[in-house]
Every structure is written in C-alpha cells, then in structure tokens.
A and B are shown apart, each in its own frame.
Chain A
Amino acid sequence: NAGVTQTPKFRVLKTGQSMTLLCAQDMNHEYMYWYRQDPGMGLRLIHYSVGEGTTAKGEVPDGYNVSRLKKQNFLLGLESAAPSQTSVYFCASSYSGQGKSGPQHFGDGTRLSIL
C-alpha cells in the first residue's frame, strides 16, 4: 500500500550541482504534481502533468524541469541548484474522471538544502 513514494528523502547539494527528484505512484493516477513548501509561503505548484508524456508549468517553474515518460513516474530536475531552491518538495497525484479530479495524495517530501 505504497501510494506516492518520493526519493530521496533528504539531500544536500552545493550551488551549481544538478540532481533529480523521483516520484512514483502506484494508484494508476493520471494527474501528478510537484509542489514546494517554504516557511511563510505555504505550498506552491512548480510543475504538473495531466498524463503520460505531458507536462505544464505551475506557479513557480523557473529553475526546474520535469518529465513524465511513464504514467507512474514524475521526475523533477534541478539543472543548476541555487540556495533559493532550498525547500521541502512534495509530489502528489490524483485521478481524473468525468471532467473532475479527485483528492490529491501526497508523498512524504524531499528535504533539499543548497549550500
């Protein structure tokens, strides 16, 4: 009963390094999302996907790229990490049907520090 799984759980990077955060869901959901959570800013949408092979920008997409090559996986990439990207990153997924989306299910987050 995994739900939404994020890897890694913690990571420390140096400025300019790159990395990829992996999100996997086993609920056969069409929609997947990446959010970041920062003190005083709440949760903000970075990118999202409404199906395999599709991606779209959210509220704060700059500095990030995403890919959805398989329905169950949604990857978030940082090409050149900056201290402003220090945050907790959450992946979520939801089903779609009858033109509506269902409740979003969240992973436990990835805590990323950029030095």
Chain B
Amino acid sequence: KQEVTQIPAALSVPEGENLVLNCSFTDSAIYNLQWFRQDPGKGLTSLLLIQSSQREQTSGRLNASLDKSSGRSTLYIAASQPGDSATYLCAVPYNQGGKLIFGQGTELSVKP
C-alpha cells in the first residue's frame, strides 16, 4: 500500500532564505508526483507536476525534483517571501486514473 510522508510537519524561516521541503513515498512505481499549496480556509493550488520520466520541474522560484528509486521528492523554494507562507502538500496517484494519495503536508511560515 502506497504511503506518502512529508517531513517536517512545520517549518519557520526568515524571509530570504532558501528552503527544501521533503516528500517520501513507499512504492516507487508511480506515474507522477504533484506538489500543491493550500492557504488557510482555501482549496489546493497545483504548483508542479513531475511525470515519472522526469527528474525535475521548475516554475519561477520553485523547483521540484523526483528520485523514484529512493522514493523521494523535494520542493526547493528560493529566496522565500512572507507570501510563501502556506501548507505544502505532495501527492502521488494510485494508478493511471489519477486518484491521489496525499502526504500530511508541511506548514511553512516565512517571517518578515
């Protein structure tokens, strides 16, 4: 059974720092991995999706990497800003149908 774990559960950093959020999964036979952002009281916003054949994806200050063999993905945020404060979730699909298994999330706080 696929399990997704995110460490740490919470992270507080000063503005301007580069940071890394971690996601691990137990079954390496994944089709893709998706990173989301969730603001309090809001839905999830898709940040990046990495297909199983890819090693990384970049969008602005965000870079997500995928290492299937070790069952790990990282989300790198460069030059963090207070507006980056949110909960970040990673998820992998059950199968090609896209049903997602989510990690518990990392709550990020960026202090001015």
29 A-B residue contacts at CB 8 Å? A31-B98, A33-B100, A35-B100, A42-B89, A42-B103, A42-B104, A43-B102, A50-B97, A58-B99, A90-B43, A90-B44, A99-B96, A100-B31, A100-B32, A101-B32, A101-B93, A101-B96, A101-B97, A101-B98, A102-B49, A103-B46, A104-B34, A104-B44, A104-B91, A104-B100, A105-B46, A106-B43, A106-B44, A106-B45
Nearest-CB distance from A2 to chain B (Å)?
13
Q: How many residues of B contact A (CB 8 A)?
A: 23
Nearest-CB distance from B52 to chain A (Å)?
9
A-side interface mostly: strand
Contact present for A100 and B46 (CB under 8 Å):
no
Q: How many residues of A contact B (CB 8 A)?
A: 26
Contacts of B32 in A (CB 8 A): 100-101
B70-106 interface with A by 8 A CB criterion: 89, 91, 93, 96-100, 102-105
Nearest-CB distance from B81 to chain A (Å)?
23
Contact present for A31 and B97 (CB under 8 Å):
yes
9 extra interface residue pairs, beta carbon distance < 8 Å, beyond A43-B91, A48-B98, A101-B93: A42-B89, A48-B99, A90-B43, A90-B44, A102-B49, A103-B34, A103-B49, A104-B34, A109-B42
